[in-house]
A and B are shown apart, each in its own frame.
Chain A
Amino acid sequence: MAEKILMKGNEAIGEAAVVAGCRHYFGYPITPQSELIEYMAKRLPQVDGVFLQAESEVSAINMVYGAAGAGARVMTSSSSPGFSLKQEGISYIAGAELPCVLVNVQRGGPGLGSIQPGQADYFQATKGGGHGDYHNIVIAPNSVQELVDMTILSFDLADQYRNPVVLLADGAIGQMMEPVEFREVTAKNIEKPWASTGLHGRSETNVINSLFLKPDECEKHNKHLQEKYAVIEKNEVRYESIHVEDADLVLVAYGITSRIVFSAMEKARKEGMKVGLIRPISLWPFPYKPIEDASAHAKAFLTVEMSAGQMVEDVRLAVGRTKPVYFYGRTGGMIPNSAEIYDQIVTIMQAKGGK
């Protein structure tokens, strides 16, 4: 077992990327993820990698497009306003079916917002963000160790499905330090015969492209993409479920918020309230099924987010109209504390008589 080290979330993502074989990084600094770009600037030259600080986020994402087209394991990172700038490029990358890992260490929005932690980019990450019918695979870790493990997973998923993967973190996970362990990685060596790296004896050139001028060809491409998304939805749903079996009230939260909600849930359990937690780890594909299943016995749901209510729409889709889905959120960079979430739990439990 590797030795545990104390590491900041942003730096842990960087080291995990290097462990996963990422040798190309393009980015532009922005709080609260600047330690990541700083780490890559220092680390990539040590492993003969390419670090380049682009002149803007738009430029950085198009450098990612190029490196991914050449088959490289490549990453960029930003925070909310900077991540918005990348959306055009992400749509192109999704259209051209290129693997890459895109990190968004979310902060308060909209606009320049604040530099404190936020979760209000859920819609952007999970519902497209750029133009056209496409999906990013979206992974939301809730600890520094998960940042490491899921950065590595993200590179594998990106290569496996030829699809951009968004690692959706927030300012709190990015800034905090926790012990981490870099476990031995058996890097999946996925062949990329589609990569644009020269003919190598072939007669047909590999073309990286998202343009289909003939609409029937573009529709065919879209159908192919939708078939791929259906496979991802079938195979790549990830979530954690705690005390849900006997829960009257099921809490739903992801990322840093899930840990605060966990503390509130523990307190409620100690007070005899039957409260459980479903933590989506993959935000797309979203774990609709376990939430739907829980609605068979749960009396109510409470979604907690650092937003005005985004993931709660997916929770409502999963639950349907059979059970109430409540929402509690803080916005603008404010982090809810476990006491205020506990109060929400008590209010709902008293109204439902669930104790």
Chain B
Amino acid sequence: MTHEIVMAGFGGQGVLLVGQLLAYAGMLEEKQVSWMPSYGPEMRGGTANCSVIISEEPIGAPIIAEPTAVVAMNLPSMDKFAPSIKTGGVLIINSSLISTEPNRKDLVIYKVPANEIANEIGNSKVANMVILGAVIAATDAVTVDGAIKAFQKKFASKPKMFTVNEQAIRRGMECVINAGK
């Protein structure tokens, strides 16, 4: 299966990092991966998104026209990318910041209160890692062990961060599993 995942939010929410960790985990699991950011004259608070492809086959175009899954960290991201998702695909929305109902009936939708969960854990910055956990549980694109290993490799110089981030990933997974995945 080829996972074509778009992650979108506003600058500073950490969507580019989540995408990189997914790609990194895929690479560690011997899959073909690509990560492609949107880039432009943006500033903190502007929009940010990236496209991650994880596949068993060599990857052709690294650009995604019809995602198999979309993560929307805020409302403009949902408005922009929800219409492009493949029928039967996955939409994960950050329900801490999005109260509007998505208008697609042909998707598997997970509402994850990422900011609330992050605050419960005691670190508001790990909302993006909660979402990473949700993506893993919802898509099975990579394993949780792969994602945690990727995190530890990427942040090898900051071992103090491991526990809280792993906790966030696992809480995100639980959120999706409890929703009936």
Contact = CB atoms under 8 A, between A and B. Distances in A.
Contact of A178 (B33, B37, B41): B33
Given A6-B20, A115-B41, A262-B60, A337 B65 contact: yes
Contact of A260 (B34, B37, B40, B63): B63
B34 A337 contact: no
B61 A259 contact: yes
Given A32-B39, A115-B40, A171-B39, A177 B23 contact: yes
A317 interface: no
A171 B62 CA distance: 12
Contacts of A338: 60-61, 65
Contacts of B33: 6, 178-179
B39 A259 contact: no
Contacts of B24: 6
A206 B61 CA distance: 49
Interface in A298-355: 335, 337-339
B35 A259 contact: no
The number of chain B residues touching the other chain, given as a range, is 10 to 19
A260 B23 contact: no
A80 to B, nearest CB: 15
A223 interface: no
B98 interface: no
B172 to A, nearest CB: 22
Interface in B35-57: 35-37, 39-41
B121 interface: no
Contacts of A4: 27
Nearest to B19: A177
The number of chain A residues touching the other chain, given as a range, is 20 to 34
B62 A259 contact: yes
Nearest to B28: A4
Nearest to B36: A176
A175 interface: yes
A6 B63 contact: no
A259 B23 contact: no
B39 A263 contact: no
A115 B40 CA distance: 7
Contacts of A256: 62
B20 A177 contact: yes
A263 to B, nearest CB: 3
The interface centre, meaning the residue of B24, B39, B40, B65 with most chain A CB atoms within 10 A of its CB, is: B39
Contacts of A59: none
Interface string A259-277: 1101100100000000000
B104 to A, nearest CB: 20
Interface in A1-17: 4, 6
A6 to B, nearest CB: 5
A176 B60 CA distance: 13
A337 B39 contact: no
A124 interface: no
A196 interface: no
B35 A177 contact: yes
Contacts of B39: 31-32, 115, 171, 175
Nearest to A258: B60
A6 B62 CA distance: 15
A312 B34 CA distance: 29
A335 B35 CA distance: 16
Contacts of B37: 175-176
B85 to A, nearest CB: 15
B60 A337 contact: no
A115 B37 CA distance: 13
A178 B60 contact: no
Contacts of A260: 60-61, 63
A172 interface: yes
Contacts of B23: 6, 177
Contacts of A178: 33-35, 62
A32 B38 CA distance: 11
14 contacts: A6-B23, A6-B33, A115-B39, A116-B40, A171-B39, A177-B23, A178-B33, A178-B62, A256-B62, A259-B61, A260-B63, A262-B60, A337-B61, A338-B61
Interface of A: 4, 6, 31-32, 115-116, 171-172, 175-179, 256, 259-260, 262-263, 266, 335, 337-339
Interface of B: 20, 23-24, 27, 33-37, 39-41, 59-63, 65
Given A172-B63, A337-B65, 14 more contacts: A6-B27, A6-B35, A32-B39, A171-B39, A172-B36, A176-B34, A179-B27, A259-B60, A259-B61, A262-B61, A266-B60, A337-B61, A338-B60, A338-B61
